[in-house]
Amino acid sequence: MNVNFSVNGEAVSVDVEPDTPLLWIIRDHLGLTGTKFGCGMAMCGACTVHLDGARTFSCQIQARSLEGRAITTIEGLSPDGPEGDVHPIQQAWIDEQVPQCGFCQPGQMMAALDLLNRNPSPTREEIVVHMNSNLCRCGTYPRIVKAIQAAAEEMQA
Amino acid sequence: MTIQTGNQTRREFLKTGAGLAFAIPLASKLGLAGAQTAGNGAVANSYVILKPDNRITIYTHASEMGQGSYTGVPMVIAEELDADWNLVDIEFSPLSDELYGNPRYYGFMLTIGSDAISTFYEKLRFSGAQIRKTVMQMAADNWGVPIGEVHTEPSLVVHSPTGRSMTYGEVSMLGNVPETLPEVDESEYKQVEDYRIVNNRDIQRRDTPGKVFGGVMNGEKMFSMDVRLPGMLYATSKRNHFGNREVVRIVNEDEVLALPDVIGVDVILDSVTVIARTYEAARNGEQLLQVEWSNAEEDARYNSDEELERLKAIAYDESREGIDVMGHWRARLRGQVGQAEGLDEALASADEVHQRLYTTGFMYHAQMETMNAVVDVTDDGRKAEVWAGTQGPTQTRMRVAEVLEIPIENVTLHRNFMGGGFGRKAVRSHDNFVEAAMLSKMYEAPVKVIWSRENDLIAGHYRPHGAHLVTATRNDRGAIDNFLHRTVSDEPLRWGDPERFERGDSRPYLAASFWNGAIYPAVEKFRGDVVMEFTDTRVCAMRGIGGVATAFARECFVDEMAHETGIDPLEYRRRLFEGQPESQLVFDTLKERCNWDGRPGLGCAMGSASYALAVEIDLDERTGIVKPTKIWAVASYAVVVEPSNAENSFYGQLMLYVGASTSEEITFRDGKQEQSNFHNFQIARMADVPEIDVHVIPSESRQIGTSDGPAYAIGPAISNALYSLTGKRVRHLPVSPREVLKALNA
């Protein structure tokens, strides 16, 4: 089927099977590989993107439900890359030196941004509840918390 | 398609290659860094290349799986080079066992066992110092002054009396590169107090920005899973729970082939692959695919609980002789730990012998990036290009060459970053690469293989389960003086690296580990025996290796001895380090930091002679869930190369072992794993993070790696904390709800 939607503000059109998960549309059909595959069953959060402004597991969204929707991926946060205006979330992740292997981090950042969009100054407890959806086998959780707190301050300033 | 962002063309891949094609003869009598240039006038050795524009390329030999040595290795070199860190560019080294092979593992390039920096430490320092001495000599000759009159400042050679100076880049263009690069004496190395780069908390990992921007660095995809080639096909694979099984029949091949975009179903060694034009099609095929395997009837009777009971029986069976694994390095440890001689006699003649049995379960690596590979076989099957996140690039290349029956030189390997390794990506069979290589050859197209999480888990190579029988005596002060630790387990290397296992050197037994000071020095007679019990369950090393299992048994046992003698468990351990003030300081510091007062729910354990920790737990008696609420860890390290990264790593290891010690375990029932994905294999989540207090004591000891650190002591510490809370002991790792309820109801 042909489906039309937007990714990071740009209109896109793809021809895929109706049950194709958004994750693989983004990664393989559109070439945006910042969004990662970790489990395929909404248990790890590596594939987290924003769908119409709210976080979602892209491995669970099928092509047939995408028409007219707006997707934001990690590539959409700082459109000009490291040399341009860096999004406060990504800057906080760099300043706090969050990643180890780094594979889960795009999903972590997209989940964190979703939190700060709804709750600009979350408590530690609120951060933990929200972020419990996203796994990190390297165990960078303490630094993720610090980075979210730093980004929250920066985004409010 | 209207978006091109993130796409990478074939040409871009080819352009970047695997670093400079640089042939550097290894000439140093010390067997240290290469002592010659490439003959093109460059100032370079096997790790450093000075560029005329004053930038410096430093190679890192190690594979990067998250541990951070991609940055740490060049930091050590840059320090001795006296480089301006801002002028340093890091690249993965070319693939050369001669130049970058790991001497601990018969010379292959292999990043395992947390020794990317520690084993290479002297070589790295030498490599930096040698180039520094070279530029000092070249500048001095150019100025016509003695070398004694010049010194360096960051990336600058200075004539001390006059203040004249040249940048390293300017010196590199002088053209007077010596025929043979100078040897460097250890006395010429920098003093630790003069370090600017090493141990500097402000220096950040160079791979951080790329990872924060989705895994792209210098225009290249960091993770092999993200690599895309024109005309690339996608494949998934399905494997049996057990190794050594053959495909008897593909039940529904036609049905799978009828799926849209599916191109083929093939048997590659012991896996069945589905290849398709899209990954989603291949994945649909994998889910639909039904395979009949050999030995199915017998396999269906396999239960891991029963198997563990069998291993326990073997532990008590004296007719099954164990291998004295410490015999291999006892000579090296002479004087540090007790000897084995006379141990059996001492135990046989003792009035009272204390004996306990412990077990540990199968553990799965669960690295976030599942096994995958991109291979492009060209020239009628004569050449292959491989994109690989691998801990063993040489062996990956060898394996691809072997299955394609081509010379290793015809295999080009691009070194990708790994989305986690933990030992899994060192397994010698490199099946994911074999699948991609064979399929690329068969279908004459580039192929990306991605294992689903289910296949990654089911075809996983677990840390083997095992039984540990500890037999010991105590002296009149209550301290353990004779100690026999008998392990019954399959041997991780038998699957992980059969060649190393068969060679019998290079640390051939990983089922149990008794090195690195993990034995209390007060123990007079000690032996660690391993009874190898071969099975068809795939196993290999996993972070912490044999230490995870042996530490669990030892530290629970020591705790039991402490309680029996009425001595405080922390003090009991401290006394076993009598005469070793550095180790005792670790315990003194731990005692102070956690306010060790014997309160219920507090437990401790020793990880190594330079690492101990304590944990406080909460217990839900109804569910049996044990939750660490606070961890205190104290470590003693010589030079911490990357302080910020080490802190992140310490926390991370604790989190990995918290999960592995409480909620994770692979169990088999009726021949199948009871776990398949993260819904029933539960690794630690953010809500599981306790308060963590890590304290590092500067030490005079030798350099050791930190990312494979003895944080696995959290397992026995949790069991010990449970005992202090309830008076009940769990002698199985993980201390899972099932085991806790069993103990509480016993």
Domain assignment present for B457: no
Domain assignment present for B351: yes
Chosen for mutation from B8, B67, B363, B368 (greatest number of chain A CBs closer than 10 Å) is B368
Regarding whether B588 and B508 lie in a shared domain, the answer is yes
Find all residues with CB under 8 Å of B87, minimum gap 6, and list them.
B54, B55, B56, B155
Regarding whether B286 and B386 lie in a shared domain, the answer is yes
Query: Over the stretch B597-622, which tens digit does the pLDDT of each residue have?
Result: 999 999 999 998 889 999 999 999 99
Question: What span, in angstroms and rounded, lies between the C-alpha atoms of B640 and B65?
Answer: 19
Q: What is the mean pLDDT of residues B538-566?
A: 94
B420 CB burial (10 A radius; 0-12, 13-18, 19+)? buried
Is A1 near chain B, with CB under 8 Å? no
**Lowest-confidence range among A107-111, B306-310, B562-566, B699-703?**
B699-703
Of B695, B690, B681, B677, residue with least CA distance to B717:
B690
Query: Over the stretch A65-114, which tens digit does the pLDDT of each residue have?
Result: 999 999 999 999 999 888 899 999 999 999 999 999 999 999 999 999 99
Domain assignment present for B25: yes
Judging contacts by C-beta atoms under 8 Å, the chain B residues touching residue A113 are none
Query: Over the stretch B179-233, which tens digit does the pLDDT of each residue have?
Result: 999 999 989 999 989 999 999 999 999 999 999 999 999 999 999 999 999 999 9
Model pLDDT, residue B339: 76
Higher pLDDT, B543 or B706: B543
Number of domains in chain B: 3
Does the structure show a pLDDT above 60 at A17? yes
Regarding whether B319 and B189 lie in a shared domain, the answer is no
Contact B655 A139 (CB under 8 A): yes
Does the structure show a pLDDT above 50 at B35? no
Contact A34 B689 (CB under 8 A): no
User: B residues 227-286 near A, CB within 8 Å?
Assistant: 228, 234, 260-261, 278-281, 283-284
What angle do helix axes A88-95 and A105-118 make, rounded to 10 degrees?
A: 130
Label residues B206-230 b or e (16+ Cβ within 10 Å = b): bbbbbbbbbbbbeebbbbbbbbbbe
Among candidates A31, A32, A99 on the partner chain, residue whose Cβ is nearest the Cβ of B208: A99
Going along chain A from its start, the domains and CATH numbers come out as: 2-76 (3.10.20.30), 81-156 (1.10.150.120)
Which of B450, B478, B512 lies at the terminal end of a domain, its last residue? B450
Regarding whether B628 and B546 lie in a shared domain, the answer is yes
If pLDDT is split at 50, 70 and 90, which confidence band does B298 have?
very high
Of B394, B359, B386, residue with least CA distance to B500:
B394
Contact A137 B366 (CB under 8 A): yes
Regarding whether B82 and B62 lie in a shared domain, the answer is yes
Contact A37 B6 (CB under 8 A): no
Domain assignment present for B300: no
ipTM of the complex: 0.98
Instruction: Return the residue of A nearest to B69 by Cα.
Output: A100
Regarding whether B225 and B128 lie in a shared domain, the answer is no
**Which range marks the domain in which residue B421 is found?**
221-239+246-294+371-450
Domain assignment present for B212: no
Label residues B318-329 b or e (16+ Cβ within 10 Å = b): eeeebbbbbebe
Query: Over the stretch B360-395, which tens digit does the pLDDT of each residue have?
Result: 999 999 999 999 999 999 999 999 999 999 999 999
Cα dist from B169 to B52, B135, B146, B173, B430, whole Å: 4, 10, 21, 7, 42
Is B542 near chain A, with CB under 8 Å? no
Is A109 near chain B, with CB under 8 Å? yes
Question: What span, in angstroms and rounded, lies between the C-alpha atoms of B441 and B434?
Answer: 11
Regarding whether B469 and B551 lie in a shared domain, the answer is yes
Residue type at B481 in one-letter notation: D
CB B700 within 8 A of CB B636: no
Distance from CA of B543 to the nearest CA of A (A): 11
Domain assignment present for B2: no
Percentage of chain B modeled with pLDDT above 70: 91
Query: Over the stretch B57-71, which tens digit does the pLDDT of each residue have?
Result: 999 999 999 999 999
Q: What is the mean pLDDT of residues B80-102?
A: 97
Question: What span, in angstroms and rounded, lies between the C-alpha atoms of B236 and A57?
Answer: 21
B681: left (phi over 0), alpha (psi -120 to 50) or beta: beta
B681 CB burial (10 A radius; 0-12, 13-18, 19+)? buried
Total beta-carbon pairs less than 8 A apart between chain A and chain B: 219
Which of B450, B482, B516 lies at the terminal end of a domain, its last residue? B450
Find all residues with CB under 8 Å of B334, minimum gap 6, and list them.
none
Domain assignment present for B8: no
Angle CA B678–B684–B690, to nearest 5:
160
Of B393, B547, B531, residue with least CA distance to B463:
B547
Percentage of chain A modeled with pLDDT above 70: 100
Regarding whether B278 and B140 lie in a shared domain, the answer is no
CATH number at residue B637: 3.30.365.10
Model pLDDT, residue B708: 63
Judging contacts by C-beta atoms under 8 Å, the chain B residues touching residue A96 are none
If pLDDT is split at 50, 70 and 90, which confidence band does B2 have?
very low
Higher pLDDT, A112 or B11: A112
What angle do helix axes A88-95 and A141-156 make, rounded to 10 degrees?
A: 130
Query: Over the stretch B653-705, which tens digit does the pLDDT of each residue have?
Result: 999 999 999 999 999 999 999 999 999 999 999 999 999 999 988 887 666 66
If pLDDT is split at 50, 70 and 90, which confidence band does B706 have?
low
Higher pLDDT, A75 or B331: A75
Instruction: Return the residue of A nearest to B7 by Cα.
Output: A31
What residues does B673 pair with on adjacent strands? B668
Cα-only R_g, chain B:
27
Find all residues with CB under 8 Å of B377, minimum gap 6, and list them.
B383, B384, B404, B437, B440, B441, B444
Regarding whether B121 and B32 lie in a shared domain, the answer is yes
Does the structure show a pLDDT above 80 at B330? no
Question: What span, in angstroms and rounded, lies between the C-alpha atoms of B462 and B424?
Answer: 9
Among candidates A20, A34, A39 on the partner chain, residue whose Cβ is nearest the Cβ of B215: A34
B346 CB burial (10 A radius; 0-12, 13-18, 19+)? middle
What residues does B247 pair with on adjacent strands? B293
Regarding whether B514 and B437 lie in a shared domain, the answer is no
Contact B678 A7 (CB under 8 A): no
What residues does B165 pair with on adjacent strands? B158
Judging contacts by C-beta atoms under 8 Å, the chain B residues touching residue A14 are 1
CB B715 within 8 A of CB B735: yes
Regarding whether B233 and B199 lie in a shared domain, the answer is no
Domain assignment present for B520: yes
- Reduce the secondary structure of B728-746 to three states and give it as a string: CCCCEECCCHHHHHHHHHC
Question: What span, in angstroms and rounded, lies between the C-alpha atoms of A67 and B285?
Answer: 26
Cα-only R_g, chain A:
15
pTM of the predicted model over 0.90: yes
Does the structure show a pLDDT above 90 at B521? no
Judging contacts by C-beta atoms under 8 Å, the chain A residues touching residue B544 are none
Question: What span, in angstroms and rounded, lies between the C-alpha atoms of B307 and B299?
Answer: 12
Regarding whether B731 and B669 lie in a shared domain, the answer is yes
